[in-house]
Amino acid sequence: MFYEPKHGHPLPHNPFKACVAPRPIGWISTVSRGGIVNLAPFSYFNAVLDDPPTVMFSASGAHLEGPIKDTALNARETGEFVYNMATWDLRTQMNQTSASVPRHIDEFDLAHLARAPSHIVKPPRVAASPVQFECKTIKILELSPINTIVFGEVVGIHIDERIVTGGRIDLAKAMPIARLGYMEYSVVREIFEMNRP
């Protein structure tokens, strides 16, 4: 099978996202200039550098109240955001925060999530998440009015010591979830190791 995406696809459902999987979920918390807290998951998220530690997320699609989604708007206007690891235990709450709601809605409250204060930035952290990165926005690429990529330098890292084994993060304990294609997800339960040749 071969097709050119600009001409559509030959399957009943678009296969693109399913071909790039699993994708880490960037569960991003921000605060608006007016002080409204926002929390939303993004399946186009990843680490892009380790020195300095840098992450990115991409917000695609329009908001109910304007062309840019709350998370990207807040990260642009305030220069701050927090990454929270989405895990198996938090999958239902993460999904609730993906709902399209008016800008004045606080998704922490919507999903009944406890928040924890950050040390350096203003956005709160998801208290139950085992890993959180406090980030400062360093670059924003606007590919179109409704497609924005946000890069952030990680200026603070929180790790729940219950997921540390032998001085290493034990992802089988954390059980992060990842996005696949369509409405499908995956969870990390099995891990294997290979040394480079």
What φ, ψ does residue 161 adopt, rounded to 5°?
A: -65, -15
Distance of alpha carbon 48 from alpha carbon 132, whole angstroms = 16
Can you give the residue range of the structural domain that contains 113? Answer: 23-187
In a domain, 179, yes or no: yes
The CATH number for 128's domain is 2.30.110.10
- The predicted pLDDT at position 145 comes to 85
CA 184 from centre of chain: 16
In a domain, 8, yes or no: no
For residue 176, the 8-state DSSP code is B
In a domain, 9, yes or no: no
Q: Whose structure tokens read 């696949």?
A: 180
DSSP string for residues in 65-125 = TBSS-HHHHHHHHHSEEEEEE-BGGGHHHHHHTTS---TT--HHHHTT--EE--SSSSSPE
Region 80-101: mean pLDDT is 97
pLDDT tens column, 2-44: 999 999 999 999 999 899 999 999 999 999 999 999 999 999 9
Asked whether the bond before 145 is cis by omega within 30 degrees of 0, the reply is: no
Q: What average pLDDT does the structure give for the chain? A: 94
pLDDT tens column, 57-85: 999 876 666 678 899 999 999 999 999 99
Q: Is 2 exposed, middle or buried (0-12, 13-18, 19+ CB in 10 A)?
A: exposed
In a domain, 100, yes or no: yes
In a domain, 132, yes or no: yes
Distance of alpha carbon 21 from alpha carbon 43, whole angstroms = 10
- The predicted pLDDT at position 62 comes to 66
Q: What is the pTM of this model?
A: 0.94
In a domain, 1, yes or no: no
In a domain, 117, yes or no: yes
Distance of alpha carbon 15 from alpha carbon 18, whole angstroms = 5
Residues 6+ apart with CB under 8 A from 48: 54, 55, 56, 151
What φ, ψ does residue 173 adopt, rounded to 5°?
A: -80, -40
Q: List the structure tokens of 129.
A: 């998440």
In a domain, 7, yes or no: no
Number of structural domains found in the chain: 1
